[in-house]
Structure 1
Amino acid sequence: MRSWQRHPLAQAALLALGSALAGPVSAQSVADLVQEIQALKARVAELEARPQAPAAATTTTAAKTAQWGMTPEQAAELNRVQLKTEALEDAREAMGFKGLKISGYVDPTYIYNKAQNRAGFQFLNRVDTNSGGDGYNYDNSYFGAAVIDFQKETDSGTRWRLTLAPNRGVGSVFDTNSPIHEASVSVPLPDSQIRLIAGQLPDWSGYEFLPATQNKLITHNLLFDFTLPTAYTGAGVELADGKWIYKAVLANMNTSQRSSGNKSPVLAYRADYAKGEFSGFGFAGVHGTTANPRYAVQDADGQALFPDRVGHDTRVDLFEVDGYFTRGDWTVQGQASVGRQRDAAIALASDGSFQDAKWWGLSGLVAYKWTPRFETTARLDYLANHWNGGGLLTFATADSRNGIGPGVNGDPQRGANRSALTLGASYLFNPSTTFKAEYRLDRASQPVFEDVKTGEFKKANHLLGASVLVAF
């Protein structure tokens, strides 16, 4: 309990009252004394109230100064935090981190291939056959990768991208040991609606994406593996016009540098239309000249069969349309492709001349999410490739692993048509981890799959796959 202390002015008033009472009582009546006492009490009350007024005013002023319910100490701490934040932002910009995004993933994969009599993990394995790899195949495409992606956008709107994928990116497929999957720039001309694009760009055809983070299954469809380009090295433009996005480049296809005597690039283009929030379609094409693998075929001794043709490019024409519908738990995607390359067929004509490789194909995918974490997927592919003994883009000889070319003891002028049914499931274990599994049945119209254990050729092959995809 707080003790009450008399004010000095109140003490003086009481002394004056004592002096008055000390005089003769007869000098004034009792009524006069009562009035004086009441007056003195009122004066004391007034004097005692005066010191509290400045304190109340001070409190009001402090309340106005300490806004948002903060004390002066809290306001000072806020100022210090603001200064530190500004310093960190300045340092981040000075070191080039402003507008920088870093992402990546790894997806160790297990593959069982019945015809190849092989089962085991695939991770960071080489593609280049000259470096111990086994080439690009449907059971050994881009999965089993470790990828890191750097993207940066400057204040001017220029975008820069570098994606590294050692042994597993497009660079390792067409440029042997290159770890570069993508190295590109995008510059607004003069605004973000029209942009200059240049560098090494992975192919953009089809409904299926290359990265495992954007692919519902482990393997890719037949059209992706055998009928589409790998990458482009060149420059072009990208235009955004309402619901349409167009892009086109003049580039080298599947090579970072043209060989001697080859001067003509390809024109590669793509257009996408977003019909609404849930659906859209697009088309892509390539027209020009590119390397002809048929000219590079060697005999058993490693000697070129056509030394005068080695290194020469031939005409290629590719076109595809694709579309998608994604709403709720359902995803539906589809693609149709057609292609032709001059002098690239597997079989020679009866007079020994080269023939054109021709093909067309269809691919469709349906996926359904049973829960927000669990999804199942079915994909069906068909590839017609029977003309002139077969032959596909970059595949100009019979291939008993991928099922390309004429069947054993069959008509050498008739290649095998291919199909594949793939069933898969994925489970989102946590926001950065996905478990995948799939079963794939590949079939051909002729016995073109070699069973390496028995040496027999069959019309079908079975594949099982599983992977753990961890991304950030």
Structure 2
Amino acid sequence: MKQHTLALLTAALALAYGAPARAQSNEELLKELRALKDRVNQLEEKLKATEAKAAKSAEAQWGMTPEQVREFNRIAVKTEALEDAQEALGLKNLKITGFIDPTFIANKAQNTAGFQLLNKDAYAYDAGYFGMAVLDFQKEMDGGTRYKLTLAPDRGTGSVFNGGSIIHEASVNIPLGDLQTRLWLGQIPDWTGYEMTAPPLNKLITHNLLFDYTAPTAYTGAVADITRGKWMIKAGLANVNNSRKSAGNKTPALIYRVDYAKGEFQGFGFSGLHGKAYNYATDALDAAGGLRFADQAGKDTRVDMLELDAYFIRGDLTWQGQLSWGRQRQAAIFNEDGQLRDASWTGLSTLLAYKFIPRWEATGRLDYLRNHKNGGGLFGYSYDDSHNGIGRGNGFFWDDANPDPEAAGKGTNRYALTFGLSYLVNQNAIWKLEYRYDGASQPVFLNTKDGTFTKTNQLLGTSMVLSF
């Protein structure tokens, strides 16, 4: 405004004194200066009105005052800088979740009662995938590639089959052409049956008999992951319960799972495994303490497994069921003539749950496992096991110095009845209570108090699953 005023005054003076031929009196000059001043004032008022109109127009357009617009611009610049920094640090689309699952288990036959958390015990039905502390990292790239790393010290799949590794899952899922056709690589937890590995995804504390004794732990390999409408298909080649094949073992296994979501409330799936896996029967010792099958020790043998599961979930009601069949060559517990025999099994499991109050849910589960042939033998269990109730009963140990074909050739069928309650404390915490009754066709459970064997056992457990 000052610049415009000076310019006008300068022009006025130039007009007033620039032409000698037009000499003017002082009175005329004052009149011209007054007229010029009035014109400058008019121009100043017009400029102010234009600026006010522009401000009102901006406020009407953006719903903000000029000061608010400037503040918005500053925020936008800072946000862009934060996004750039997040991407540069690799944090874009990174999701971190986890949970902790302190658990209390009382086992009558084992004469134990106490809390379990990150315990280093071998896997068993009363020391399974509970008492965990898990940290999960998931990242998706702009092109759709997904990375997943799940850390589970002492109680993850890695601790079961890979020398105490803390890796529960380490995988990458790469799109091939489109997001519904993918290649899945790495260490992948088993997908058999209706029960999941992680406690937050299960209604009970313990797992069913089929999950514990007939299913693999994890796969290390490559899988095609295909989604077509309501169908989800996974199929590939992998090592079974093994991160690296040992010398002389070269054959991977064919693994697959197919799921179909029939409708909003129901669906079914089936899975299979056909290939070679470690045979624990070759670890059996003879009377002298040496390997009875030293010539076959360390050799994988053929495994075939088929499984069908289904579900119906609507409102407060949940039903899930599973049928399984399996066989491993030369992996039975009993070998009378010095020749390794085949282990085979069939089983079923069904679960029913109902939320009788929004936060309270009651659950019941029934399991049955038929395993009497050749002294018994399940996937990964080719020996008498008085803790888990597998084998020939009464702690029977057959060797060349104590042959008893009739007793040694008969395995044990198992069943389990489980009842549970759960309470949703809040969106991140679930409290569980469970009573489990295990039974067997022979006395296979060791009573550690007096060294006797019984056909039944009881377990009581409670846990608090806290997730974030």
Q: Secondary structure at the match of 1:370?
A: strand
Task: Quote the residue 1:334 is aligned against.
Answer: 321
Q: 1:141 aligns with which of 128, 137, 147?
A: 128
Name the CA distance, whole Å, in 2 between partners of 1:401 and 1:250.
33
Q: More deviation in 294-303 or 450-459?
A: 294-303
Match status 1:435 vs 2:431: yes
Task: Quote the residue 1:105 is aligned against.
Answer: 99
Q: 1:242 aligns with which of 216, 225, 229?
A: 229
Q: Secondary structure at the match of 2:357?
A: coil
Name the CA distance, whole Å, in 2 between partners of 1:51 and 1:180.
76
Report deviation, 1:376.
Answer: 1.2
Match status 1:70 vs 2:64: yes
Q: Secondary structure at the match of 1:429?
A: strand
Name the CA distance, whole Å, in 2 between partners of 1:163 and 1:359.
32
Report deviation, 1:236.
Answer: 2.3
Relative to structure 1, the CA distance from residue 236 to residue 51 in structure 2 (aligned partners, 3 Å threshold; closer, same or farther) is: closer
Q: Secondary structure at the match of 1:187?
A: strand
Name the CA distance, whole Å, in 1 between partners of 2:338 and 2:284.
15
Q: More deviation in 220-229 or 302-311?
A: 302-311
Count the aligned residue pairs: 416
Name the CA distance, whole Å, in 2 between partners of 1:322 and 1:217.
18
Relative to structure 1, the CA distance from residue 449 to residue 65 in structure 2 (aligned partners, 3 Å threshold; closer, same or farther) is: same
Q: Secondary structure at the match of 1:77?
A: helix
Task: Quote the residue 2:379 is aligned against.
Answer: 393
Report deviation, 1:304.
Answer: 2.2
What is the identity, as a one-letter code, of the residue corresponding to 1:368?
Y
Alignment of 1:451-470 (within 5 A): 451-470=447-466
Alignment of 1:125-136 (within 5 A): 125-126=119-120, 133=121, 135-136=122-123
Match status 1:419 vs 2:419: no
- Native 8 Å contact 2:271 2:307 kept in 1: yes
Match status 1:319 vs 2:341: no
What is the identity, as a one-letter code, of the residue corresponding to 1:456?
T
Alignment of 1:58-457 (within 5 A): 59-66=52-59, 67-126=61-120, 133=121, 135-299=122-286, 303-349=290-336, 351-408=337-394, 411-457=407-453
Name the CA distance, whole Å, in 2 between partners of 1:401 and 1:230.
19
Relative to structure 1, the CA distance from residue 108 to residue 302 in structure 2 (aligned partners, 3 Å threshold; closer, same or farther) is: farther
Output one character per residue of 1:130-176: Cα deviation in whole Å (capped at 9) or x when no partner: xxx3x211001110011001011101111111111010101000012
Bigger Rg over Cα: 1
What is the identity, as a one-letter code, of the residue corresponding to 2:344?
K
Relative to structure 1, the CA distance from residue 267 to residue 307 in structure 2 (aligned partners, 3 Å threshold; closer, same or farther) is: same
Output one character per residue of 1:60-111: Cα deviation in whole Å (capped at 9) or x when no partner: 4321122333111111111111111111111111111111111000001100
Output one character per residue of 1:426-468: Cα deviation in whole Å (capped at 9) or x when no partner: 1111111111110000000111111110211111000000111
Name the CA distance, whole Å, in 2 between partners of 1:163 and 1:78.
40
Relative to structure 1, the CA distance from residue 396 to residue 61 in structure 2 (aligned partners, 3 Å threshold; closer, same or farther) is: same
Q: Secondary structure at the match of 1:61?
A: helix
Task: Quote the residue 1:26 is aligned against.
Answer: none
- Unaligned runs of at least 5 residues, structure 1: 1-49, 127-132
Name the CA distance, whole Å, in 2 between partners of 1:378 and 1:93.
48
Report deviation, 1:288.
Answer: 0.6
Report deviation, 1:354.
Answer: 1.5
Name the CA distance, whole Å, in 2 between partners of 1:63 and 1:325.
61
Name the CA distance, whole Å, in 2 between partners of 1:55 and 1:374.
70
Name the CA distance, whole Å, in 2 between partners of 1:86 and 1:379.
53
Quote the RMSD (CA, aligned, Å).
1.8
Report deviation, 1:278.
Answer: 1.1
* Regions of 4+ moved over 6 Å: 50-57
What is the identity, as a one-letter code, of the residue corresponding to 2:358?
P
Alignment of 1:8-47 (within 5 A): none
Q: More deviation in 65-74 or 305-314?
A: 65-74
Name the CA distance, whole Å, in 2 between partners of 1:166 and 1:302.
34
- TM-score in terms of structure 1 length: 0.85
- Native 8 Å contact 2:55 2:66 kept in 1: no
Name the CA distance, whole Å, in 2 between partners of 1:330 and 1:236.
34
Relative to structure 1, the CA distance from residue 318 to residue 118 in structure 2 (aligned partners, 3 Å threshold; closer, same or farther) is: same
What is the identity, as a one-letter code, of the residue corresponding to 1:70?
M
Q: Secondary structure at the match of 1:411?
A: helix
- Native 8 Å contact 2:58 2:65 kept in 1: no
Name the CA distance, whole Å, in 2 between partners of 1:149 and 1:441.
33
- TM-score in terms of structure 2 length: 0.86
Task: Quote the residue 1:29 is aligned against.
Answer: none
What is the identity, as a one-letter code, of the residue corresponding to 1:468?
M
Report deviation, 1:355.
Answer: 1.1
Name the CA distance, whole Å, in 2 between partners of 1:60 and 1:85.
31
What is the identity, as a one-letter code, of the residue corresponding to 2:57?
K
